[in-house]
Structure 1
Amino acid sequence: MNAVAEKVVFGSAAAVLASVGRQLGETEWMQINQERINQFADATGDHQWIHVDPEQAKSGPFGACVAHGYLTLSLANLFLPQLVVYEDLKMGVNYGCEKVRFPSPVLVNSWVRGSGEVVAATPIGTDGVQVTIRITVQVRGQDKPGCVVETISRLFFIQEN
Structure 2
Amino acid sequence: MSHVTISSLEELSRYEGQELGVSPYFQVTQPQINLFAEATLDHQWIHVDAERAQRESPFQAPIAHGYLTLSLLPYLWTQIVTINNLKLQVNYEIESLRFNQPVKVDSYVRLRAKILSIKNLRGVAKTRIEVNLEIQDQPKPAYTGVITFLYHFEK
For residue 141 of structure 1, the aligned residue among 137, 143, 154 is 137
- Where do 5+ consecutive residues of structure 1 fail to align? none
Q: What's 1:32 paired with?
A: 28
**Aligned-residue CA RMSD in angstroms?**
1.4
Runs of 4+ off more than 3 Å:
none
Q: Distance in 2 between matches of 1:35 and 1:92?
A: 29
Match of 1:45 in 2: 41
| Secondary structure of 1:108's aligned partner | coil
**Aligned-pair CA distance for 1:118:** 0.5
Deviations 1:80-110 (A, max 9, x none): 1111122222222221211211111111111
Judge conservation of contact 1:98–1:150 (CA < 8 Å) in 2.
Answer: yes
SS in 2 for 1:141: coil
Which of these residues, 7, 10, 14, is aligned with residue 14 of structure 1? 10
For residues 76-87 of structure 1, what are the structure 2 equivalents within 5 Å? 76-87=73-84
Q: Kindly report which structure 2 residues correspond to 1:9-158, keeping only aligned pairs within 5 A, or say none.
A: 9-58=5-54, 59-125=56-122, 127-158=123-154
C-alpha distance in 1 between matches for 2:115 and 2:99: 20
TM-score (norm 1): 0.88
Equivalent position amino acid for 1:55 in 2: E
The alpha carbon displacement at 1:128 in A equals 1.8
Contact 1:17 1:123 in 2 (8 A): no
Gaps of 5+ in 2: none
Q: Report the Cα distance in structure 2 between the residues aligned to 1:30 and 1:85, rounded to whole angstroms.
A: 18
Q: Tell me the number of residue pairs that the alignment of Structure 1 and Structure 2 aligns.
A: 154
Q: Which amino acid aligns with 1:129?
A: A
Amino acid at match of 1:111: Y
